[in-house]
Amino acid sequence: SQQGEEDPQALSIQEGENATMNCSYKTSINNLQWYRQNSGRGLVHLILIRSNEREKHSGRLRVTLDTSKKSSSLLITASRAADTASYFCAPNPSIAGYALNFGKGTSLLVTP
């Protein structure tokens, strides 16, 4: 099954610093999605990048996609304590009705 693998597993930074998380996957995709999950809560969709896009921005988020390397990165700039959460990538193949499979995520801790 198509599953993203996030790296690093855990990351601790101070407020104001940038946080970079990486995702690798194995097969071809239609798009790749990034989600955030606060402890004990549901998933929040952050950003979707399509296979023909190389970079996408949304507020303080910047996502890149390199389909030749089958990898993506999520950059959070000027991090805040409220960004503390787990972040998951979900490679999405171009098959209707196909479930997203999640890796273990990157656990981000932003300290004041």
Partner 1 sequence: GAVVSQHPSWVICKSGTSVKIECRSLDFQATTMFWYRQFPKQSLMLMATSNEGSKATYEQGVEKDKFLINHASLTLSTLTVTSAHPEDSSFYICSADATRDEQFFGPGTRLTVL
Q: What binding mask, one character per residue, do residues 11-30 give for partner 1 by CB under 8 A, x or -?
A: -------------------x
97 binds partner 1 (CB under 8 A): yes
Q: CB-based burial of residue 100 (10 Å sphere; 0-12 exposed, 13-18 middle, 19+ buried)?
A: middle
59 binds partner 1 (CB under 8 A): no
Give residues in contact with partner 1 (CB under 8 A): 30-31, 33, 35, 40-43, 45, 48, 50, 88, 92, 94-97, 99-105
